Amino acid sequence: MLRKKLTIYPNVAIEADSIVETIDFTAIFQHSGPVEMEVGSGKGTFLVAQAKAFPKVNYLGIEWANKYYKYAVDRIGRWQYENVRMLRTDAAEFIEKFVPDTSIQKFHLYFPDPWPKKRHHKRRFFCDENLAQLHRILGPNGIINVATDHENYYEQMTEVARKAVKAGTFKEIDFIRPAGAQEGELVGTNYERKYIPEGRRTHTLALQKL
């Protein structure tokens, strides 16, 4: 069977090498509006559903895996959504170096790589250092929406969140169910749809900036 040829739509894909200074989201999206960011976009299922449901919101997806990045760019491009951009880069480094203060309204992290081996836990995205960066880039009352199927990673997430709440930088709020979530789903991503038949539980967490 022939593999489908994927198109890298230039109006969707942002070349990482082109970003050499603090990013200007109005220039990137060619219009102003609230910006939401997703790290680990996979095949773009969340972004496609959200872009359709909220056309006045701009969405930036970041995906490191090249095959998924290309699939998401092709998918978004074929749907001709003008309010979504994709970037293939290291998310933590990009956020620290190039995302301006108070520029993001919501941050989404769904089923991130759990790096299950203990020696790899330092690679997990949801950690004290990255949460501090998210606090910086979030606007007033900005929201972080997180979901994972991995019990140990969820325990780490809740501990990181607990410290932030205790420090007075965030408060815990109810998880906001994305637009693409169908009956029986909390998130509506490909990973969740794969995990539900396997009996895996989805753990959710949401924080709001103080």
Please say if the pLDDT value at position 2 is more than 60: no
Task: Give how far the C-alpha of residue 73 lies from the chain's centroid of Cα atoms, to the nearest Å.
Answer: 15
pLDDT-based confidence at residue 4 (cuts at 50, 70, 90)? confident
This model's pTM is above 0.85: yes
Catalytic residue, from 17, 113, 149, 174: name it: 113
Q: CA-CA-CA-CA torsion for 133, 65, 89, 152, nearest 10 degrees?
A: 20
Q: Which fold has domain 33-209?
A: Rossmann fold (3.40.50)
Please say if the pLDDT value at position 54 is more than 70: yes
Predicted confidence (pLDDT) per residue in 81-132, tens digit: 999 999 999 999 999 999 999 999 999 999 999 989 989 899 999 999 999 9
* pLDDT at residue 3, as a whole number: 55
Residue 101: active-site member: no
* pLDDT at residue 158, as a whole number: 98
Q: Look up tokens 């301006």; give the residue.
A: 100
